Structure 1
Amino acid sequence: MNHQKFAKEWISAWNSHDLDDILSHYSEDIEISTPMIAMATGGKESTLKGKEAVREYWKKARDKFPDLHFELIQPTAGVNSVALFYKSIMDKHAVEVMFFNEEGKINKMYAHYD
């Protein structure tokens, strides 16, 4: 996998605000961990499992931040994984580490923010 090409496609999908396009990068059994879950939902959860749960969370987040725009700073490659450093919402910097399954879909993701 070309991590730079993937990073550009991933950022473009998010900036399009098209949930189907965004979710096309993820497996059905996706597991995400991010401090933004609790902030967006007002709860204490920080991990979601399954594409439908993730879809609902991202739909709420997209509605809460309709002007969402990500700006890629640096993509990096690992073993069956990438880490993307980018400018996120509310002028935060983010690093997302994404792990890929055998089909090349993200099945686990960890997000970090400053």
Structure 2
Amino acid sequence: DAYWEKLYVDQPAGTPLLYVHALRDAPEEVPSFRLGQHLYGTYRTRLHENNWICIQEDTGLLYLNRSLDHSSWEKLSVRSVADAPTDLTSLCRPRLSPAHRLPQGLPVTHIPS
């Protein structure tokens, strides 16, 4: 299945994007997600590899971890049309994988209150 969500410039950190649900087959599986292939070839920075989008393991919530301001868009090479809201549409494919491990030393992320 595919899920679509639009992100807009100046959405605040903590903005919920969507909920996903998956059942674990084994306790060692770790939740992760992948954004659509079109992001990989078009943008120099991958949203999920730079902690712009994170997943909350216990709820399945994908959320915006950092505000997407204009300097963020420059890093992502996104162009907007005059007088049109700048958005980024991405395909999200949640998955569970026993082989996927989070890199050491990354801070634990949470949704700000």
User: Which bracket does the TM-score occupy, shorter chain normalised?
Assistant: under 0.3
> TM-score under structure 1 normalisation?
0.22
Higher relative contact order (CA 8 A, sep 6+): 2
Q: Higher strand share goes to which structure? A: 1
> TM-score under structure 2 normalisation?
0.22
Q: Higher helix share goes to which structure? A: 1
Query: Which protein shows a greater Rg?
Result: 2
